[in-house]
Amino acid sequence: MISLSRSCFLNKASIAGLSSPLSDRQRGIVRRAPCSLKIKAAAAAASNRDRNGTVLSVETVAKETAEAESLVEESQPTVVGGIRDAYGEDTATEDQPVTPWSLSVASGYSLLRDPRHNKGLAFTDKERDAHYLLGLLPPSVPSQELQVKKLMHIIRQYQVPLQKYMYMMDLQERNERLFYKLLIDHVEEMLPIVYTPTVGEACQKYGSIFSRPQGLYISLKEKGRILEVLRNWPEKNIQVIVVTDGQRILGLGDLGCQGMGIPVGKLSLYTALGGVRPSACLPITIDVGTNNEKLLDDEFYIGLRQRRATGQEYAELLHEFMTAVKQNYGERVLVQFEDFANHNAFDLLAKYGTTHLVFNDDIQGTASVVLSGLMAALKLLGGTLADHRFLFLGAGEAGTGIAELIALEISKQTQMPLDEARKNIWLVDSKGLIVESRRESLQHFKKPWAHDHEPIETLLEAVNDIKPTVLIGTSGVGRTFTQEVVEAMATYNEVGITFRFFGWCI
């Protein structure tokens, strides 16, 4: 069969389980002549092929397609637009032409190598006959549940978590349905494999284990051509982009281009746990170099071998990226900034928060989870947020993000000014308590938390002096909530609230 566009042909080929119950309008589908020509060409080819999969030449099909063009007025539906929206309002990419090189000759064998539509042994006898799969698969037709059982048996034989990660990534690249079925059915066991902590080791060794690209790589070499790069991605109806520049991967530091494991893993969770269509997700790594000397000297490193770009060069690349995303996918595509360095993370959120749909999980996502935990705790303790004094260990993206959301909620509940609400929230960083006398040396996102107080160097001293009722740890340094710190909290509080986050896996 001839396919000019996978979304046009395979999605309409009645492969079991792929059809959508939504109407054409609900799925953002419009009618356009080009897809009709593709389907007529496919039909013409199919009528002239025998059962062993012989297909007419591309030249012959092109001729038949040209003849069919003069006869066609109406067409079969094809999906277009920046995202799949229920209102049909987004036409960001509606008129993108089909490029000549997208013409491809597909057979049943090719279908088995398409992870989006491949079902492996789960293809029924009817499907095997309809899609020229006879003889390409063993005769057994096991259920998806039995396939999952077999795969879990294989995965459990591996003793090294990284081996399990590599097996899962290989499964995702050959049978997407089975990958998500397995992940959903065994989420507690597989979550630490697909994401933290195993993904951290995977990112460190990404150059050595890299086999197939799972997202887009945009580097300084593509400056001026980012829109072209985005259009190279086969899926056009993108709803969620998770992008990183690899500078602050988990607690591991600058991993450059090898930070791609984070967007890939995060979006896998959005599908498995949030129900977002895999085809609507796009992982992206922006490669501006790395300051990690070990990676620069690694012969297997897959990124740019240069020091990390900063300043205007960095800002111009990010601006071109954000502009191209909006142009290619529309205004309602979500761009999630993931694992950027602190200063860039806050700057990007502030710069594009009013023009794009943006989100930073480290700053905003973590904060929402912590605030919900505090609200739940208050149901047992009574009182309101304004009744408490908060002390944070850690003043990075997570710590300041949580503190800001708590202050906003206090301001909302009490109608007090935001600056006043911040006065009951104190932060300790690597240099001690953040106070007014340190203001000139502080990063801009820490300055709102510089209160009038004598300098304090340690967390224990801060607990004894501030006497917080809520202690929240967001530092990547371990063993900081010592017995002395916990006992000091107990001295000042009959019932206190203590949150400690080890790493960031939210």
List the binding residues for a divalent metal cation.
Answer: 338-339, 362
Contact 118, 112 (CB under 8 A): yes
Backbone angles phi, psi at 376, to 5 degrees: -65, -40
H helix or E strand, kind and range, residue 155: helix 144-155
Annotated binding site for (S)-malate: 248
Please report, for residues 77, 96, 170, 257, 357, the alpha-carbon distance to residue 233 in angstroms, rounded to integers and kept in the order given: 21, 13, 20, 18, 21
Tokens matching residue 192: 């630490």
Which is it for strands 357-360 and 334-337: parallel, antiparallel or unpaired? parallel
Q: Under a CB-based contact definition with an 8 Å cutoff, are residues 23 and 59 in contact? A: no
- How many Cβ atoms are within 10 Å of 214's Cβ, its own excluded? 17
206 is catalytic: no
**Strands 497-500 vs 425-429: parallel, antiparallel or unpaired:** unpaired
What are the binding residues?
Answer: 248, 338-339, 362
Nearest CA to 494 out of 474, 473, 467, 472 is that of: 467
Q: Give the closest residue to 342 by CA, choosing from 303, 394, 292.
A: 394
Encoded tokens for 221 = 């070499």
Torsional sign, CA 229, 231, 235, 238: positive
Q: Which two tokens stand for residue 22?
A: 């939504």
**Residues 12, 164, 236, 266: which is the catalytic one?**
266
Name the one residue in this structure whose structure tokens are 């530092």. Answer: 475
Q: How many CB atoms lie within 10 A of CB 143?
A: 10
The conformational region for residue 307 under phi > 0 = left, psi -120 to 50 = alpha, else beta, is beta
Can you tell me the distance from the alpha carbon of 388 to that of 470, in angstroms, rounded to the nearest whole number? 7
The catalytic position among 12, 38, 181, 195 is 195
Instruction: Transcribe 217-235 into DSSP letters.
Output: EEEGGGTT-HHHHHHTSS-
Contacts of residue 277, defined as CB under 8 A and 6 or more positions apart, other chains included, come to 84, 239, 271
Active-site annotation holds for 158: no
Write out the catalytic residue numbers.
Answer: 195, 266
